[in-house]
Amino acid sequence: MREQLKQKETGLIKMEFRGISRRSFLKFCAATAALLGLESSYGSIFAAAAEEAIKKKPVIWLQGQGCTGCSASLLSSLNPGPAEILLDMISMRFNTTVMNGTGHVSVQVLEETFKEGNYLLAIEGSIPTEDSRYCIVEGMGFKELVLKAAKNAEAVVAVGTCATYGGIPRAGLTGAVGVSEIISDKPVVNIAGCPMNPSWLMGTLLYYLSFQELPALDKTGRPLAYYGNHNIHETCPRVSYYENGQFLVDWNDPATSNWCLLLAGCKGPVTYADCNRNWWNDGVSNCIRSGAPCAGCVQPQFYKDFSPLYAPLFTPVTGDKGGEKPAPAPAEPAAQTGGLDAKSVLLGVGIAAAPLVANKVANSLKNKKGEVKRG
Ligand code: SF4
């Protein structure tokens, strides 16, 4: 392994010319390993696998009914930054937001990549089902294009809540649905969020390209390590105020600005994502820390069933002593683990999976070098 890592030095050093230091990249890989419940030493393994695999993996990124917010979120990531993601870590063959080519040149690249096959297909935005004219991309209905693109794809990544569950467009008239509602013969991973946190996408890509399989998913198709294991309410810095029955009701009252945001519309009790440990904008903050209630944007119920966003999810009961007492958080089914193998379950739980994953990584990297033949 040491020799293998040494061979990757050249590539990692090359990244410094793109504005990202080797140290920053390794730090990102170590952080990703930690978020996936692995020891930080696995960061080096991820870095090696990324150098070997990610550069060679073509990605097609199609955009349907959405606001491009998830592309903006990805392009706002700092470590790694957009240039490193697009030029060094993946081979982005088609993305209407960032690509230089237009017209028949870009369509030709798209068609050639379709023929080559074995690419990753990323879908941003929802898919209209009522009438194809609601969303025409490259001269065809978006649903038709997605089905065509999925045919030779290795796996499909639904990026953002519009693509995963229909999102805000689902509340409209276009019959908007998520990717997994029209693609059933390919592995689909849902990176939900409005927008998604870029580290969720990059971590999932690193995992896939290291292990050649998707990470363990929760019952709604999201990586368990980033979503299903983390209830926003249980990890919230304001939870003690919830337990004391102290709820913000007046946005203009500075004395209550740190109190629980339940009555301001917080959907934290029924929302599952690691926002409270994996802060946004390169670790700057997150919604609740910034004073905004959780909108539940990673859940399938968003937006239609969670609106109005600033209406309380439920009302705390009044206690015998006259003061407001919080109602217990509504029961939410635990993260789905049924149907997963033992390795996947352990990975979602955390560090206990390290030895098993270590073997998997080692075999994966050996296979790439041809040291061990695949069975
Ligand atoms: Fe935090 Fe929202 Fe729960 Fe209040 S209801 S403790 S703000 S997650």
Most confident of 54-63, 201-210, 339-348: 201-210
Residue 79 and residue 92: Cα distance in Å, rounded?
Answer: 18
Lowest-confidence pick of 66-70, 163-167, 194-198, 357-361: 357-361
pLDDT at 255 over 80: yes
Between residues 123 and 210, which one has the greater pLDDT? 123
For residue 181, the CA-to-ligand 1 centroid distance in Å is: 31
232, 236, 272, 277: which to mutate for ligand 1, most atoms within 8 A of CB?
236
Q: What is the DSSP string of 95-116?
A: ETTT-S--HHHHHHHHHHHHHH
- Do β-strands 140-141 and 91-95 pair in parallel, antiparallel, or remain unpaired? unpaired
Atom of ligand 1 lying closest to residue 268 CA = 8
Give the list of residues 6+ apart from residue 250 with CB closer than 8 angstroms, or none. Answer: 256
Instruction: State residue 103's pLDDT score.
Output: 80
242 lines ligand 1 (CB under 6 A): yes
What is the average per-residue pLDDT within 355-369? 37
Residue 91 and residue 59: Cα distance in Å, rounded?
Answer: 6
Residue 317 and residue 44: Cα distance in Å, rounded?
Answer: 51
**Side-chain half-sphere CA neighbours of 211 within 13 A:** 20
What is the average per-residue pLDDT within 351-356? 28
236 lines ligand 1 (CB under 6 A): yes
Atom of ligand 1 lying closest to residue 260 CA = 4
The full length of the chain comes to 375
What is the average per-residue pLDDT within 307-320? 77
Atom of ligand 1 lying closest to residue 261 CA = 7
Most confident of 57-61, 208-212, 369-373: 57-61
Instruction: State residue 317's pLDDT score.
Output: 65
pLDDT at 357 over 50: no
For residue 288, the CA-to-ligand 1 centroid distance in Å is: 8
The tens digit of pLDDT for each residue in 144-183 reads 999 999 999 999 999 999 999 999 999 999 999 999 999 9
294 lines ligand 1 (CB under 6 A): yes
Instruction: State residue 85's pLDDT score.
Output: 64
Q: Among candidates 155, 161, 160, 163, which has minimal Cα distance to 214?
A: 155
pTM of the model as a whole: 0.74
Mean pLDDT, the chain, whole residue set:
78
For residue 280, the CA-to-ligand 1 centroid distance in Å is: 18
Domains of the chain: 57-196 (3.40.50.700), 231-334 (4.10.480.10)
Structure confidence at residue 212 as a pLDDT band (50, 70, 90)? confident
> What amino acid positions are annotated as catalytic residues?
67, 70, 162, 194, 233, 236, 260, 266, 275, 287, 294, 297
What is the average per-residue pLDDT within 209-230? 91
Nearest CA to ligand 1 atom 6: 239
Structure confidence at residue 51 as a pLDDT band (50, 70, 90)? low
Q: What percent of the chain has pLDDT over 90?
A: 50
What is the average per-residue pLDDT within 132-150? 94
233 lines ligand 1 (CB under 6 A): yes
DSSP 3-state of 151: helix
For residue 37, the CA-to-ligand 1 centroid distance in Å is: 25
